[in-house]
C-alpha cells in the first residue's frame, strides 16, 4: 500500500502543476495523460489490489476499457507533442551519441534560441506558497 500512497502523492503534485497551464486544450491533454498513468498503474498492480479485495474483476475490466478509450482519444493530440525535427532519414537512437546528435539538430533550427512571441502565455506559473 505504500506504493499506492506514493503514486497518489505523485499524481496530486502532477495535477497541481498542470492546473496552472493557461491553455485549456493543453491542460486537458495533460489531465488525460495523468489519468492514463493512474489507471495504468492500478492495472499493473491489480494483483495486489485483488489480493486485498480492494478491486473487483468488473472494476478491473472497466479500468482497462477506460485505458483503451483514453489511448484512442489522445492519439490526435499526442502526435503533435511528439513531432521531432527531420533527422535526414536516419535513426539517431541507434547511435551511441544520439543525445548529442538530437541536441545538434535542435540547436540548428531557425530561432532555436529565441523566445516565442507568446512565451509568457504558456509559462507554467508556480503555485503561490502558503504562508
Q: In this predicted model, what pLDDT tens digit does every residue of 68-107 receive, in sequence order?
A: 999 999 888 876 666 555 554 455 555 566 667 667 777 7
Residue 112 · residue 106 · CB < 8 Å: yes
Domain 2-83: which topology?
Answer: Butyryl-CoA Dehydrogenase, subunit A; domain 3 (1.20.140)
pTM of the model: 0.58
The residues spanned by each domain of the chain are: 2-83
CA distances from 56 to 50, 59, 68 (A): 7, 5, 19
Quick one: pLDDT at residue 29? Answer: 86
C-alpha span between 34 and 29 (Å, rounded): 9
Confidence of residue 36 (pLDDT cuts 50, 70, 90): very high
Amino acid at each position: 500500500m505504500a506504493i499506492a500512497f506514493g503514486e497518489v502523492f505523485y499524481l496530486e503534485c502532477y495535477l497541481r502543476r498542470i492546473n496552472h497551464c493557461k491553455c485549456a486544450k493543453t491542460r486537458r491533454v495533460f489531465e488525460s495523460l495523468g489519468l492514463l498513468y493512474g489507471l495504468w498503474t492500478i492495472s499493473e498492480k491489480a494483483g495486489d489490489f485483488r489480493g486485498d479485495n480492494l478491486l473487483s474483476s468488473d472494476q478491473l475490466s472497466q479500468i482497462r476499457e477506460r485505458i483503451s478509450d483514453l489511448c484512442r482519444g489522445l492519439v490526435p493530440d499526442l502526435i503533435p507533442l511528439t513531432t521531432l525535427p527531420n533527422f535526414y532519414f536516419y535513426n539517431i537512437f541507434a547511435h551511441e551519441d544520439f543525445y548529442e546528435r538530437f541536441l545538434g539538430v535542435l540547436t540548428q533550427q531557425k530561432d532555436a534560441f529565441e523566445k516565442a512571441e507568446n512565451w509568457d502565455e504558456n509559462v507554467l506559473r508556480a503555485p503561490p506558497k502558503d504562508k
